[in-house]
Structure 1
């Protein structure tokens, strides 16, 4: 007997799908939802359980002579009810806009979308820090323990209460991303001669978990990025002083560029991003930075 655990943790027994599969190998079977007080003859290879809440499910095989197998017992929680939509409040500190989220259910997670809900990325904690001048709208939703999605909320990043900031083109005076959260988006538009430099500080007890390209819109499929462990980008073109560097484009979406960097280099201190398009075609980009507690 099996069921599709749709939840955020596929071992927690919480699901939004009440369809249970039965491998009967042609043998007659029956199931009980009241711990054996009554039994229902099954047919085919599955049966449906309805009604949200905790379930105790028993299944056994039987033949025409009334012989019965041992009972297979499984507990689960069926939850088919979507959670409420998130509450979102924007505030600004320096050049960084923070979207503070409320109404997150216990055990749930929140997600954001930059492509009008075609794809979703998970966020950490209960806020999203944003610095840049490219994105105009972001969608936000939550997923509960069973995997049910709330209604999506569109948030206008061009709101007059927020700050649109074009990142600094000076490597010795990068724009400062105000930290204190765990999930950030750096976004902008670059073209030849207009690089973006952004710096952030990794607090004590924290580390950079990932740096990923999450949006790339351009006819030119190749841009350049580099990261330096410093509060400015003074490495110039000396790659030995860069933490990581290379090309970025559509094929790199979702790739963590720090995946192979030793953990010892990802902890407390400053880190500066250089993002550049060397060609004449404008490139819109968004880079996700996620911090997490140090190991």
Structure 2
């Protein structure tokens, strides 16, 4: 059988057998003759499934036993509250089921990104709507909560600093951060975040890019300012960013020793004349 112990929302189990087969859901008291290559178990809750093969002479194989918990119920929507710390708007996520995770979407729930920690920190003026939901251990998704970051009087919008020696600063204590903005030629965004002790950067990814110009520029320096100028030897990483780079971790090839405690500052710029909306996700993780 192609199933392993655990929690699942899919009650359809595959069977790989060269002979006829049958299954039992009551520990062998009764058996149901199977057909084809699969069978379906219904009804949420713990399951113990017995399966065995049998030939035309009535000989039976050893019983294969699989246990699982079938869970097809969507969890309740999460509770989300917002707070402001400096230039950072944080969306605190509570109400998660045990072993559930939360996700956010920037494109009207077409695609989802996994969050870490208990909040989504946002800094910038490029995003409008953010959707947040939870996904339980079985993979069932809740209904989403939506927030308008540009709502009148929300104080959620901040244009990132254009001064490399005075970058905008992301609030501390966050594991999931979004830097977002709109840039054109002559406009650059500089934003700093701090990595606390016993943590490091897990990933920096472009998660939104809207522009007719498919190429923008980014660079990251391990510093509380961006004073590297155009000296690439002082940059942790640099390069072009565009639609082809969506969801790519630009730090994937950087040694973990360079991603630990301390400040980092990102420079994002569009050298063309067409406006570019962007969002960059930073994920931190605890380390031993």
Per the normalisation by structure 2, the TM-score is: 0.97
1:97 pairs, out of 89, 95, 98, with: 89
Closer, same or farther: CA 24–12 of 1 in aligned 2, 3 Å:
closer
Deviation >4 Å, runs of 4+ = none
1:128 aligned partner: 120
Instruction: Give unpaired runs (5+ residues) of structure 2.
Output: none
Residue number among 86, 93, 116 corresponding to 2:108 in the alignment: 116
Match of 1:49 in 2: 41
Q: CA RMSD in A?
A: 1.1
Tell me which residue corresponds to 1:266: 259
Of 84, 89, 110, the match for 2:76: 84
Deviation at 1:179, TM superposition (A): 1.6
Aligned to 1:7: none
* Residues 1:168 and 2:161 aligned together: yes
1:120 shift after superposition: 0.6
SS at structure 2 position matched to 1:204: coil
**Counterpart in the other structure of 2:173:** 180
Answer yes or no: is the 8 Å Cα contact 1:195–1:275 preserved in 2.
yes
Length, aligned pairs only: 287
Q: Which runs of 5+ in 1 are unaligned?
A: 4-10
Instruction: Tell me the distance in 1 between the aligned counterparts of 2:236 and 2:56.
Output: 71
Q: CA deviation at 1:12?
A: 5.4
User: Are 2:187 and 1:194 aligned?
Assistant: yes
Task: After TM superposition, give the deviation of residue 92 of structure 1 in Å.
Answer: 0.5
Q: Secondary structure at the match of 2:233?
A: helix
Question: 1:91, 1:162 within 8 Å by CA — same for their partners in 2?
Answer: no
SS of aligned partner of 1:2: coil
Residue among 21, 24, 41 paired with 2:17: 24
- Find the aligned partners of 2:156 and 2:63 in 1 and give their Cα distance: 62
Q: Which residue of 1 aligns with 2:31?
A: 39
Tell me, yes or no, if the aligned pair for 1:86 and 1:153 is still in contact at 8 Å.
yes
Partner of 1:137: 129
